[in-house]
Amino acid sequence: MEESYIRSVARRFSYHKAGMVSLAVVILIAAAALLAPVIAPYGYEDIVGGISQPPGPGHLLGTDGIGRDMFSRLLYGTRTSLFVGLAATLLSTAVGVVLGLVAGYFGGIWDMILMRFTDMVMSFPYILLVLVASVIFKPGMWNIILILGFVDWTGVARLVRGNVLAVKDENYVQAARLAGMPRRHLLFSEILPNVIAPVLVFATSVMALSILDEAALSFLGMGVQPPDPSLGNLLNGAQSLTVLGSMPWLWLAPGLTIVLLVVCVNFVGDALRDAVDPTTMR
């Protein structure tokens, strides 16, 4: 039964052409990022060539302002950005699932407190909250993960709460409750499996958002700190008009990588949504 559900989701997913192509691209980028130490011709901190050399043989994407190989930095930067995106998504999804489960299942005063708290977090413009937090805590990769993770759980929490409310009174949950099953079993074995699919779909958009936010923060100098590369801080140099106008290799490639990555993650999410819920109207 379980197997056939997953198989039917996979089948419907495979019908979604854009989704399949995007999945392949995401896997390709992830593999390149993961294998950065193997693929990259140079280390990301090594000064290996002339200053700001345009792309050519030897340096596929040219060199940056102090003579580091841009292609190698791009690979390592993608690695950092993907990791931040993934870790922040895992964290915020976990926080959101737990809070949503508690609010939806226990209801009453807990629901009230948690949902009002969710409203409060949601009322701060997201990026303002992230920016303020990134100044308070020293910028750096792990802090970015924690900040994004602890700010972006509100959507998941609301989603899970809504789904829990919908299934809580279903017969099979009532039956398990009447059979005297412990609360742990009700929450994690009866209710949670029913909310996993929508959460998974939602998580892809959280991931896309996290990658975008890391990029913006690092671009502004409040995220991953140089010399460690990330897709965002690789674009730092583009804040000078000379670089922007006449040295496109210093900022175009990382920017396009972000766009490609986020577009593909979004398409995968879209295909997943259709695959999980065949009734949605297209």
Partner 1 sequence: MTRYILKRLGVALIVLFGITVIDFFIMTLAGNPVEILSGGPKVSEAMLAQRAENLGLNKPVYVQYVNWLNAVLHGDFGYSYKTYEPVSQMIRARLAPTLILMGTSLALSLVIAVSAGIYAAVHRRSAGDYAVVTGAFLGQSVPQFFLALVLIAVFSVNLGWLPSSGIRKLGSAGSGVQFRYLILPCLVLAFGMAGSNIRYIRSAMLEILNKDYLRTARGKGLGRTLVIWKHALRNALIPIITVIGMEIPGLFGGSIIIEQMFGWQGLGLMTMNAILGRDYPVIMAMCLISAVVVLAANLITDILYAVADPTVRLE
Give residues in contact with partner 1 (CB under 8 A): 116-117, 119-120, 122-128, 131-133, 135-136, 208, 212, 215-216, 219-220, 235, 238, 241, 244-245, 248, 251, 255, 258-259, 262-263, 266-267, 270, 281-282
Nearer residue to partner 1 within complex by CB, 135 or 175: 135
Residue 139: C-alpha distances to residues 106, 198, 223, 232 (Å):
37, 32, 5, 13
Q: Whose structure tokens read 């929450």?
A: 187
Residues in the chain, overall count:
282
Nearer residue to partner 1 within complex by CB, 101 or 235: 235
Report in angstroms how near the CB of residue 189 gets to partner 1 at its nearest: 33
Number of Cβ within 10 Å of residue 9's Cβ equals 18
Nearer residue to partner 1 within complex by CB, 40 or 235: 235
Report in angstroms how near the CB of residue 94 gets to partner 1 at its nearest: 21
**CB of 114 within 8 A of CB of 92?**
no
Report in angstroms how near the CB of residue 144 gets to partner 1 at its nearest: 15
CA distance 22 to 271: 10
Report in angstroms how near the CB of residue 105 gets to partner 1 at its nearest: 21
Nearer residue to partner 1 within complex by CB, 9 or 258: 258
CA distance 196 to 189: 11
Nearer residue to partner 1 within complex by CB, 179 or 281: 281
CA distance 237 to 219: 9
Number of Cβ within 10 Å of residue 176's Cβ equals 17
CA distance 25 to 8: 23
Radius of gyration of the chain (CA): 22
Report in angstroms how near the CB of residue 57 gets to partner 1 at its nearest: 26
